[in-house]
Amino acid sequence: MVMAIREVDWQHWHGEMPATLMFVVQEGKVLLIEKLRGIGKGKVNGPGGKIDPGETPEQCVVRECQEELHITPLDPVKMGELCFAMSDIPDIHCHVFMATRYEGVPTATEEAIPLWTDLDQIPYDRMWEDDRCWLAGMLAGRKFFGRFIFEGETMLWHELDWQAH
């Protein structure tokens, strides 16, 4: 069976659900989580979540790290944006950040289990499919803008632009 790819008018696309992700990197490791609830429950990801009304992406990513891991990332750097056209949930516009410093001790909560992960051992088979397209490049310091079409949890199409140095 051939699956028809949903037509997306990216010129006028607007993600109904703004969201964030944070990747803290220190000493050759990145702080990932096993996500215990919400969208992508059971997957490995960075901490993050939906932006509340009135919140900036930066305020959201700090709050989500506090809620999920009891840490406060310092000086978050915006690295990219991910536009997800989804089939079964509202479309998601995700702002992705990195940080090299944080306050607090990464702690397991009802939302997440912290997983310090070697940069060369990222468990892509436990992550969202698109992460293979951008995560390694971002961790190497490259900024990006990506668009993705998903059918359920399957990525049907993607387009990724890397910012010129």
Ligand X SMILES: Nc1nc2c([nH]c(=O)n2[C@H]2C[C@H](O)[C@@H](COP(=O)(O)OP(=O)(O)OP(=O)(O)O)O2)c(=O)[nH]1
Which residues contribute to the site for ligand X (CB under 6 A)? 19-21, 37-40, 45, 48-50, 84, 92, 94, 128, 130-131
Comparing CB distances to ligand X, the nearer of 1 and 95 is 95
Q: Could you identify the residue written with the tokens 């109904």? A: 16
Q: For the residues of 19-55, what is the DSSP string, one character each?
A: EEEEEEEETTEEEEEEE-SSTTTTSEE-SEEEPPTT-
CA-wise closest residue to 106 among 30, 52, 51 = 30
CB of 74 to ligand X, least distance (A): 19
CB of 150 to ligand X, least distance (A): 7
Comparing CB distances to ligand X, the nearer of 40 and 165 is 40
Distance CA 31, CA 84 (A): 23
CB of 140 to ligand X, least distance (A): 17
Distance CA 26, CA 2 (A): 44
Comparing CB distances to ligand X, the nearer of 46 and 102 is 46
Comparing CB distances to ligand X, the nearer of 35 and 164 is 35
Q: Is the distance from CB of 159 to CB of 147 less than 8 angstroms?
A: yes
Comparing CB distances to ligand X, the nearer of 20 and 31 is 20
Torsion of CA 30, 142, 132, 21, to 10 degrees: 60
